[in-house]
Structure formats: C-alpha cells, structure tokens
Chain A
C-alpha cells in the first residue's frame, strides 16, 4: 500500500527539465517547501488546467532561481485528479496528509473546488483558486484569485447598458453552476436596471454542445421588437468553437448583436479562425495584449519555459501568478509556512498585477482586480477597449436578496458567511 517514494513523486511533474534541474536530489526533504499542484492533466479539463500546472511550475522555478522562500527551495508535488471530481478530494487529502504540502494551487471547475473544500477545511490546508467563478462562497482556507461576478459579469453588463445601449439580453450558458449562478445574478441586476423580464432570454446547453444553428437563429429573432440585442455568453470550453462558427456563418456582426463572453480567452480562440469574429467582446481581468512591461516579461519567461513562443497566456495564469507571489510574500512576512499565520499575513498583501495596476488581498479572501473588456482581433488576440480601476471582489453578491445580507470577513469577524441582519455567523465551514 505504500506508494510514497520521494524521488518518484516528482517524476509525474512532466518533462520539465528546468524543474528537475532546480530540484537537487542531495537536498533532504526537510529543506524544501512543498507546493501541491492540483490540476487535471488528463480528461476533459486537461485542456485548460495543464497550462496552469505549467504556470505554477514556472513560477516555482523562477522563485527557486531567486533563492527560494525562507532560504529553502520550493518543491512541486504534481498530482493528476484526471477531471474526476471525487478524485480531486482524494488527491487533495493525499497532498495534505501523505505529501504534507504547505500550500496548494489548483482546481478549475466549481465542482472540483466544492469537492476539495471539505477536505482542506477539515485538514486546515491552503488552496489558491485561480479561476473566475460564481461567488457565493468564502472559505477560511481558500484564496480566490480569479474574478467574482462583480469583477467580470456586472461591469461587462454595465458596458452593454451604458456604452452599447443594449436593451434586450440573451444570456447563453453551459448548464452548470457558474453560468446558472452568474445568470441568476445578472437577471436580478438587469431587473434592477429596469430591463423587464421578457427582454431577458436565457438558454442552457450541455457541455461540448455543437449544434448551434437554432439557438443563434433564436437570438437573431430577438431583434424583431426593435430593441438592441446583446448576448452575454457563459458558454464553456469547446462548445464556444461551434457557437462562434455559427455566429460567423449566420453573419451576425458585432455591430448588430455584440457577444460578450466570460469564458473565452486567448486559449479558446486558438482553436478557431477569428477573422469573422472581429469586434465581439470578452471581459476578463487580464489580456495577453496588455501593453505593460511586467506582462511582456511574464510572456517572455513563459515562452522560454515552455520552449514554444506561440503559447498564449490567459487570465487564470495571471491569477495564478498573483496568488503565487502573494503567497511567497506572505510566507516571508509570517516567517513560516504554517497555514494560520500565512492566511493572516495574506490579507492586505499587495502585488502588481500584469495589467499595470496593483492587486490587493481583501479580508474576504478575494482580490481587487481591474475589469478589462477586449474586442476579438483577427489574430486571436484581444484589443483592450476598456479598463477600470481595480474593483474589490465581492464574495456574496449584492443583487440576490438572500446573499445581500451576507458578508465575509476573515480579519475582524472571522467568518466567511456572516449574516449582517441577525449578526450571526451562519457557518464557519463553507457551503458545499
């Protein structure tokens, strides 16, 4: 039953020569700080998560070149939860109890995070979650470095309302938590803004949906009552390719019916020809095209690390970058890798993001992030047409009545789900 042979464990990390070189076998295990990487390397999510695994390995590599943390080298422990949600919980437990990692970077889908949550809360682990998500959560043991809905969905909707004058909304999404919750928040928000219910069209499709002709035609038909139509897409992953191909085929130009996507980044666009999609939008906190020296440096390091100068960078990579560096600084500040002092030191950490402003870790374990809106260009990159000042992330949305009364504050209230009406902490653990 004992699989744990120290030198073997690293082997799974992949053909990353740099890491192997950075890891000197002469070092005793005690001299290293272990960093768990919990991203799927196989299965459906590998498409997105492998990139993040490489990002963490690159960051560790860079940090080790700078002398590590607290005078110790960092050691990556990579496991593969294989896009299998129960396996995420199993591997998280393995990382925490068998490998005894000090911190974990991982998860992409919400369901994987929900699977891991009970384990890390039970074992008091530390997880950095780098992907935009639906909010409605704040765990003591998780730092959310991706966008909460108010850092992506709400500003993009504002852009529609104010800049493009959209009066009728089509909310298209893949049928799972993130689109469901985001659309629910958006519906409440739009009604708040005076958009009547009949002007909000909602549609859910399965993962990997490919037959889009009818849905796109339906969206087109929405224009029949003389209102400007805009599409807000939370369509996930591969399904976007068919969707955009159909948009192009039916000749829907961004000037007539703009589409703003929350899950389409540089990575997804590399799977299709974007010449017919120029002008459609995406909202993120980072675009590879951000014209800032730190970003240029980051991209250069990334290309050198992967040995492929065509590899794109994307928003979750930036979130990983910020989270990792904040963790390094928090550990230096706390003088230890123990979870409790580090989580305390994390709150208030500031680190420059890759778009020229600064990210700050808030007491609710979310970041401040600028909201960028980009237009798709013919080369598969985004042209940044709007950038806000950093917006503080909101764990519990203000636009749903049952969440508006909730607040998260791990600094003073020491609670992730505090009901401001009854003045009680609803629960210490998270909702999963």
Chain B
C-alpha cells in the first residue's frame, strides 16, 4: 500500500515542477528557476506594476533570497526612488511580513483571511487585491544579518517616529550596527525626545557612537573619558577597537605610526614570531622546517644515498641532519638558519606594537579609560562570582538538607534521596499539565511535591529502613535498590525524554545590576527558598516540641525512648520531613535545569559531600558544607574556565583531603552527642 505512495513521492520529488516549488527555499540554482518562473507565469496581473514593485522585481533574487552581502543593493534602490511607501516596505520586510507569490514572483503583504487563505495586499497602494491559498505564496524570512542591515538603514527615519516602540527599535539598531550616518540624526532627535527613558538612552548612545565617529579629536576624547567608570558592554565595545594593536617593525625608529610600545625579540615577542615577520616580507631567509628538510632529502636520493649517507641509515634525526648538511655544502639545498644568523637579522630592526588608529590622543585616552574600567570589571567579576557561588550553594543546600536531617537523626544513608528530588520535579511537571497557569501550578506544585515525596519517604521508612535499624551499611544497599527501582519506574511512566517544567513569566529574565553582574530571578527564588527552609528548620528543631524530641533521638535514642519519646514516630516524621524537602528541591531544580528520571542522580553525590563536609546532624553544618562546596566549585571554575569537568574533579579531591583533617565535618557535634 505504501509503495505507490512512495513511488509517487519519488516522482514528484524528481519532477521539475516540484523542484521549482522547492527551489524558492533552496539557495542555489535560483537563477535558472526564476527564468522558468517567468516562462511559466500566466500573467494574471495585466495592470502595470506599481513603482515599488517594479524596483523590487528588478532585484527579485536579492529580495527573495536576501543576504547580508546583497541587501544593500536593494535598500539603496528603494531609497533612491524616494517613494513614500518605501519605508513601510523596509520596515515590514524586516519584520518578516513580506510574501512572494510563487506563480509570478510578485511581492505582497498579507492579512489572514478565512481558513487557509490569505488576503493579498499590494505593496505600493496598501490595498487588498485578492486572496490566495497559503500553499501558493511564500513568506520571506530575511535572516538576522539582513534584518540588522535593514534596521540600520531605517534608523534616521525612525528616530523621530511618534511610536516609542519604533524609536526604541532604532536605538537597538544603532547598538547592533552603529554607522557614521547615525550620529547627526541621533543628535538632532534628542532635543525633541519627550520620553525621559528614551532620551537618556539616546544621550548615552550618542556618547558611545561619538567615540568612534566624533568629528573632532576633542569630542571623541571627551566621550571616551566620560565612560571611565562605566562597565557597560557597548561602551567597552566602542573603546576596545581603538586600542587594537598590530605588530610591525622598522629599520631605525618607527615613523608615521602610533606606537603603543616597542618590543624586544626574545622577551616581549618570541624570536621565531619576529623572524617570521621578516621572512614573510622576504627580508630574511626562511628557516627550513624538519618536514621541508626531509622533503629535500627525499628529492636528492641518488643510488640509495643522500649526500653520501646511505638511505637505510637515515632513521635518526642526527643522520638526517648530517645528510642535509652535506646537501647544503653541495649547494643542493638552502642553508640552515642558525641562532646566530637569526639574532643578527633581528638586530637590524626595531619591533613595535602600533595602534591601528593613528590618533595618539584618542588611543591614549581609550587605553587609560579601559584600564580604569577594567578595575571596575574585576571588582564586579568578583561580585558576580560570589553571587554564582551563593546560587550554587543554595541549590546544594536545598538538595542536601533533607538528607542531612535523616542522616543526622537516624545515621542512615538514604541512597533514594535523589529519587525523592526526582519525584518532586515530576510532580511539578504533572501539575503543570493539569493547571495551565504557570503561577498557580507552581504554587500548587510546591506543597504537593512536599506531600508526595514525604509520603514516599514515610513509606520507605516504615517498610524498609525501620527493619534495618542497626545495620546502616545494609540500609545503604536497600535504599540503593529502591533508588534504581524508582528511577526505572519513572522512566517507564514518563518516558526517557526530558519533560518541560516552565517557570512563571515573573521568574523569567534576570536581575541585571550591570553588564557584568546579573542573576536570573529563578536563582534568586531558589536562594530565597533555601533561606526560608533554613529558617523554618531552625525554628522547628530549636523551638518546637518535635524539634526537641528529634534532637533527643539524634543524640541518644535509647535515653530519649526511656524519657517517653517514641523514637519510631520521630524517625518516621523526620524521614517524612527530609523527603518532603527533597520534593520541594526537585520542583526548584526542575525549574532551572531539566526534569528527567536521572535528575536525582546528578545531585546525590554532591548532596552526600555537602552533608559529610558540613558535619552530620546539624543544619548549620549543612549550610557550611553547601556554601563551601558551592563556592569552591565556582572558584575552581573561575581559574579554569575552559573545563568545568576538571573543576568537579579537583573539588572532590579537595573534599577527600579535607575530610582527612576534619573527619566529622566543618561543624562537628561535640561531647557525648558525637558518639558513633
């Protein structure tokens, strides 16, 4: 049954008609296709083309397959015609609202009509001229490179547009691609600007582009100096190109260039690099590389010998060098470049680094300003690192605190803790499937995740852990069994795909302090959540009856039991509490990372580390452990930014060593409570 369909599909695919339909989206072969279009086109539009349409038809390919390199041509043509509809056209083209009719290649705007149909709107008159089925017309989608060029060309006219959105768009365009022509329109538009926010932005942007395009040296230097305490990216982006240097050399003192500093070969610049500059300009003989010398040897094999050395002996570099020397002596190969000849050649020249910009005043001002900015950047980087560390620490804290409670109270390692986190995350996902409003669903999911994970925890405690009370190592194994079973069940139920858990829109985005320091709201929310639970647990453990009993059981279960505390009940409640918090951590982690059945595993070892490093049975310990591990990881990442994996390895090694010195963790229980 499928075969005829496939054959038909094959025929269609290979037929020229199809190729034609397709090719409008393919890049090559366009020329031939458009010819065919013209031949095949049945002239349904007898009227003469509008003036804009006519221009566009001249540049049909450049419009239909707009590329950053050819789009200027179209824009220039449209602008040159000075048509009133030209600007609208450019705007709408950039907004991806231009369509091309397949049968004749004419361009239209469209509006939605009934069903699959679209209303065609003439690009010259703006009037509806008919309807067309969606299949017969193609939307043109200029890529972002093209859109940047279009937007940049529209800046002058949009800067004073009555619509503030358009004015903001123009400013965006300048930020993306500033040009000399933008300077004057921008300056002119500031006075009439009414919106204070846009006005401020315009004034700032004016200073930024003055750096590059200012007419006099003074205005440029003033603009440059005005940014000395500003670490925003666009200012730095304008300044940095000014201080770009290249390496050059001259006989005697360098002249006619804006020298940044002179270089001593062998110290500021490697001798080989300096020498290569000379070689490239044919001012010196190139040093022969090993491969080149080998090629010379191969080219000079005569009767099984090269330069008097038998080929069979040439299996060492020393013998090859010997053979090559004799080739040099015979004049069959260019000589070696020795260190002495290299030094002698280098000594003839002065090497220097010169700014590309020849205006020394500007480059000096830029270099100084950048130095001053760099100090601020450094400071802010440090601050940013601290925030990153805090954020990671709060995630580790949330993931580990539940484990710390159960581990502390019962001395039991719960390997399934990670799976309780996973349960929480999946709860969040399921709730979101039922309640489409993200805000409401998160508010429902958090307590629900707590309840479900706590129930699972209590079940685990009652069914398994209680029966293994005095055998902690076996508890580890049994809970591990539970862990892999839960993981696989999650896989069977939810599939192996990652599931979406989307944060409400008020948690989207980031709190941007400046262009260096920014924290996403979701991380702030997790931080707050961690603080809340920290406070809550401190309160519960230190200020409530339950906390008192928990602490009693932690320190001495037998004594506690003889004082009328039911340790079984306490164990069950603590386990439920610990697991419930894991569930909440799961929702939080799912929001900023991903929801998969392996989510828990990713955090379990880190959680153990946190608990062990921090010290068991103490919330302050977990806090200290999470803080230490989070910051440590970030600091190592900071020093080794290109390899995050290495950071994790070093961190674990550090922890292993740390435990040697504080086997009971940072905050160890003291006295009798510390008994094993």
Contacts and interface: CB of A to CB of B under 8 A. Distances in A.
Interface string A206-221: 1011110111011011
B145 A165 contact: yes
A99 interface: no
A204 B645 contact: yes
Nearest to B498: A271
Interface stretch (B23-31, B564-572, B656-664): B23-31
Contacts of A210: 589, 592-594, 602
Given A164-B144, A225-B240, A356 B18 contact: yes
Contacts of B241: 225-226
A238 interface: yes
Given A203-B642, A358-B13, A238 B498 contact: yes
Where chain B touches its partner, the secondary structure class is helix
Interface in B383-400: 384-385, 388, 391-392, 395
A254 B645 CA distance: 28
Interface string B1-44: 11101100110111000110010011111000000000000000
B98 to A, nearest CB: 14
A58 to B, nearest CB: 11
B641 interface: yes
A245 interface: yes
A242 B602 CA distance: 13
B68 A50 contact: no
Interface in A176-209: 202-206, 208-209
A241 B518 contact: no
Interface string A221-245: 1011111000000000010011001
Interface stretch (B190-198, B251-259, B520-528): B520-528
Given A226-B238, A256-B176, A279-B144, A214 B67 contact: no
Interface string A270-287: 111100100100000000
Contacts of B13: 292-294, 352, 356-358
A172 to B, nearest CB: 10
A52 to B, nearest CB: 13
A97 to B, nearest CB: 30
A203 B637 CA distance: 11
- The size bracket of the interface on B is 35 or more
Contacts of A60: none
B536 interface: no
A162 interface: yes
Interface in A356-378: 356-358, 370, 375
A394 interface: no
A356 B22 contact: yes
B516 A221 contact: yes
Interface string A83-124: 000000000000000000000000000000000000000000
A226 B243 CA distance: 11
A241 B67 contact: no
Interface string B514-539: 01101111110000000000000000
Interface string B584-613: 000001001111101000100000000000
B110 interface: no
Contacts of A279: 144
A191 to B, nearest CB: 15
Interface stretch (B45-53, B325-333, B439-447, B502-510): B502-510
B243 to A, nearest CB: 9
A255 B176 contact: yes
A277 to B, nearest CB: 12
Given A206-B645, A249-B520, A242 B10 contact: no
B148 interface: yes
B634 interface: yes
Contacts of A162: 67-69
Contact of A297 (B9, B67, B172, B602): B9
A175 interface: yes
A210 B594 CA distance: 8
B2 A301 contact: yes
A259 B246 CA distance: 30
Contacts of A223: 233, 237
A164 B68 contact: yes
Contacts of A271: 497-500, 594-595
A301 B9 CA distance: 14
A214 B516 CA distance: 11
A202 B642 contact: yes
Interface centre among A220, A241, A258 (most CB of B within 10 A): A241
Given A175-B643, A246-B520, A65 B1 contact: yes
A226 B593 contact: no
27 contacts: A162-B67, A162-B68, A164-B143, A164-B145, A175-B643, A175-B645, A203-B643, A214-B638, A215-B641, A217-B384, A220-B515, A221-B516, A224-B237, A225-B241, A238-B598, A245-B593, A250-B520, A251-B509, A255-B148, A270-B497, A271-B595, A272-B500, A272-B594, A294-B9, A356-B19, A375-B141, A383-B141
Q: Which 10 A-B pairs have the closest CB atoms?
A: A271-B498, A249-B520, A226-B237, A225-B240, A210-B593, A241-B594, A47-B496, A294-B9, A224-B236, A164-B145
Interface of A: 42, 44, 46-47, 50, 62, 65-66, 162-165, 175, 202-206, 208-211, 213-215, 217-218, 220-221, 223-227, 238, 241-242, 245-246, 248-251, 254-256, 258, 267-268, 270-273, 276, 279, 291-294, 297, 301, 352, 356-358, 370, 375, 383-389
Given A210-B602, A250-B510, 20 more contacts: A46-B491, A46-B496, A203-B643, A205-B645, A213-B391, A220-B233, A225-B236, A226-B236, A226-B239, A226-B241, A238-B594, A238-B598, A245-B592, A250-B518, A279-B144, A356-B18, A356-B19, A357-B13, A375-B141, A389-B29
Interface of B: 1-3, 5-6, 9-10, 12-14, 18-19, 22, 25-29, 67-69, 141, 143-148, 172, 176, 233, 236-241, 384-385, 388, 391-392, 395, 488, 491, 496-500, 502, 508-510, 512, 515-516, 518-523, 589, 592-596, 598, 602, 634, 637-638, 641-645, 648
